[in-house]
Amino acid sequence: MKQLKLLFVIVGCLMTSLSWAQQFTDKPNNNEVKSIIGRDKEITGFGNIDFRVGEVVDQQALIVGAYGGVLINKYFMLGVAGYGLTTESKFDGFNPETSAPRELNLYGGYAGMLMGFKVASREIIHLSVPMIIGAGQLDVSDDNYFDLVNGDNDFVLESSSFFVFEPSALIELNISHHFRLGFGAGYRLVKGSSLENLDDDDLSGFSGVVSIQLGKF
């Protein structure tokens, strides 16, 4: 229930931001059709590298990713994003075929569409709200399945795809016209996974975010 309330709040913020963006018109004409992208809009490109630290399966994990796209009127963001789990996420589980207890490891990542907005982006310190909507793939592996001394011992016990929605709020600092640093937090909401060892709650959670942004601002 708390996750659904958070989702509704974020979606509400996004709809509000879209309504603000639509107030920009190509010229002061009451009959002019309003749009985000028009003849006189300022469109620039940008790219981010993100480092996210948060709980995955009740332990701290590092997720590294990147997103990029276009920035419209220095306000509205639209692009694509991709992230991957870079640290070992070991947990006590079981082999779904034998029900034998094992120490397992989690691998995977996710990607999707980026939408978001910035508030007062011309100021040295301002707010950025990126939102990622997409899908991912996870593998649960037993790294000692064959109990070998040397060689590749891992064996994938189960895999699952899932839906992900990850809104974030960052305080951004304009270092230069082409370089920004961001610090903030996000929430990763995972739905639709079908693993025997883990559920959606094990994969969802808050994370701290450090972001490096390059582009023409």
- Which pLDDT score is estimated for 19? 47
CA angle 198, 164, 158 (to 5 degrees): 35
Cα–Cα dist 112/82, whole Å? 7
User: What contacts 30, CB < 8 A, 6 or more positions away?
Assistant: none
Average of pLDDT values for 65-72? 94
Higher pLDDT, 6 or 186: 186
HSE-CB at 145 with a 13 A cutoff on CA atoms is 19
Q: How would you class 159 by CB atoms within 10 Å of its CB: exposed for 0-12, middle for 13-18, buried for 19 or more?
A: middle
Cα–Cα dist 59/42, whole Å? 43
Average of pLDDT values for 109-123? 94
CB 145 within 8 A of CB 154: yes
CB 88 within 8 A of CB 62: no
Other Cβ atoms within 10 Å of 56 Cβ, number: 23
pLDDT higher than threshold 90 for residue 129: yes
Phi and psi dihedrals of 213, rounded to 5? Answer: -120, 130
Q: Considering the entire predicted model, what is its pTM? A: 0.77
| Window from 31-35, 67-71, 181-185, 201-205 with minimum mean pLDDT | 31-35
Looking at residue 92, its amino acid is D
CB 47 within 8 A of CB 68: yes
Phi and psi dihedrals of 47, rounded to 5? Answer: -145, 140
Cα–Cα dist 57/61, whole Å? 9
Average of pLDDT values for 205-214? 96
What percent of the chain shows pLDDT beyond 90?
Answer: 55
Average of pLDDT values for 156-167? 94
Average of pLDDT values for 101-116? 92
pLDDT higher than threshold 80 for residue 31: no
- Which pLDDT score is estimated for 29? 54
What average pLDDT does the structure give for the chain? Answer: 82
Radius of gyration of the chain (CA): 21
Q: How would you class 164 by CB atoms within 10 Å of its CB: exposed for 0-12, middle for 13-18, buried for 19 or more?
A: buried
CB 164 within 8 A of CB 180: no
